[in-house]
């Protein structure tokens, strides 16, 4: 048990302590309980800094009184508002993984800003919050957290707790795209290298390309999803429901959906089109999506091709499919195939990221 100080200086401001053994002043943050060393500075300077810090805390982290709670007239803290926001977000009926990610983002905001009064959060507070990632050159994370914060405050405006969104004036960090797009020639080379791997992997590449679906959805496609000459797909991330005709053809690689499925029937011993068979950890014969990623990396290396710092992954097959179908069937078809509700997201997938010739 920590020994209590033998002498207390009543002339110091609250939260300020002088430790004789260290010959230094310390200020305790009342919201976190953590002590911040002020160093060996003059008593006058320590008192001045402590008073300034205490005033800031009182202005921005005021506790909610019990009587105010009973009257329903209290102001929300960020922590209590985030609990309300969590309920609002759940009502959007998004995919489980999407909610799981957002829950983690909410936890980060709560940790950094939870004690602040909602109505007193300023653009400066938001900028300081985002600077944590900008300083580490994590621009994608900074942009993501800015978007989440903006949504949090937008909902507060809708319910009448705020008039302005403090996030709006801040600039969104522009993420630097690091992962390369997969080009058709590269796909063909990797597909040829995949011939040395288990049959299910090469078929997974073909099925992903001809359907344009995410690896998680490709791994879950079953033979009983084929109904009345069509393959039915329910996307796990967005909930989009697609019905693809078996005569769907991607001419650039001479692939027909029906033919790919027939080849899957010959290779799979389970009800899943892409399967490594029945195993202890996969008694139903399903395949972990990570297996597709790992095999793709191995086949990419086996192809002998060289890439920059961030080579394409299995997921890039989806973007390649979108770009190829756009050329053959138009952007609207590609948008429907990818399951996107907005043209903005489709354009993101169709962007070749500068890997194309300028036609003169």
Q: Which residues are catalytic?
A: 214, 237, 315, 318, 340, 349
d(CA 257, CA 248): 6
Closest CA to 238 of 220, 255, 214, 219: 214
Buried b (16+ CB within 10 A) or exposed e, 222-240: beebbeeebbebebbebee
Nearby residues of 221 by Cβ (< 8 Å), 6 or more positions away: 207, 211, 213, 231, 233, 272, 273, 274
d(CA 314, CA 31): 46
Q: 39: part of which helix (H) or strand (E)?
A: strand 35-39
Report the alpha-carbon angle 311-315-318, nearest 5.
Answer: 120
Instruction: Return left, alpha or beta for 245; rule: phi > 0 is left, psi -120 to 50 is alpha, else beta.
Output: beta
Closest CA to 127 of 169, 182, 83: 169
Q: 34: part of which helix (H) or strand (E)?
A: none
**Judging by beta carbons within 10 Å of its beta carbon (0-12, 13-18, 19+), is residue 74 exposed, middle or buried?**
middle
In the block, residue with structure tokens 């195993």: 279
Buried b (16+ CB within 10 A) or exposed e, 130-141: beebbeeeeeeb
Q: What is the largest CA-CA distance in the chain?
A: 86
Closest CA to 321 of 333, 310, 305: 333
């Amino acid at each position: 048990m920590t020994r209590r100080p033998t002498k207390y200086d009543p002339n110091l401001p609250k939260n300020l302590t002088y430790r004789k053994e260290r010959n230094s002043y310390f200020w305790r943050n009342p919201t976190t309980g953590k002590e911040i060393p002020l160093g060996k500075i003059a008593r006058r300077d320590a008192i001045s800094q402590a008073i300034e810090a205490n005033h800031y805390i009182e202005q921005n982290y005021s506790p909610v009184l019990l009587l105010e709670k009973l009257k329903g007239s209290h102001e929300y803290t960020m922590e209590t508002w985030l609990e309300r926001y969590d309920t609002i977000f759940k009502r959007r009926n998004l995919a489980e993984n999407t909610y799981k990610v957002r829950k983690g983002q909410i936890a980060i905001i709560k940790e950094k800003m939870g004690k602040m009064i909602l109505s007193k959060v300023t653009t400066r507070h938001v900028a300081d919050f985002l600077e944590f990632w900008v300083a580490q050159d994590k621009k994608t994370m900074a942009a993501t957290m800015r978007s989440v914060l903006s949504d949090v405050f937008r909902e507060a405006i809708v319910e009448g707790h705020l008039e302005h969104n403090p996030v709006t004036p801040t600039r969104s960090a522009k993420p630097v795209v690091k992962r390369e797009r997969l080009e058709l020639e590269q796909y063909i080379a990797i597909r040829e290298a995949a011939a040395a791997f288990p049959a299910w992997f090469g078929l997974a590449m073909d099925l992903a390309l001809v359907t344009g679906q995410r690896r998680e959805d490709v791994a879950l496609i079953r033979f009983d999803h084929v109904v009345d000459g069509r393959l039915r797909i329910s996307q796990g991330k967005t909930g989009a429901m697609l019905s693809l005709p078996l005569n769907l053809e991607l001419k650039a690689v001479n692939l027909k959906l029906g033919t790919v499925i027939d080849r899957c029937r010959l290779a799979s011993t389970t009800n899943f089109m892409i399967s490594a068979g029945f195993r202890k950890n996969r008694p139903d014969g399903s395949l972990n999506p990570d297996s597709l990623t790992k095999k793709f990396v191995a086949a990419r290396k086996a192809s002998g091709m060289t890439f920059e710092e961030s080579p394409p992954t299995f997921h890039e097959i989806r973007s390649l499919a979108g770009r190829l179908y756009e050329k053959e069937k138009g952007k609207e078809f590609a948008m429907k195939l990818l399951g996107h509700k907005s043209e903005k997201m489709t354009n993101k997938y169709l962007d070749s990221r500068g890997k194309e010739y300028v036609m003169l």
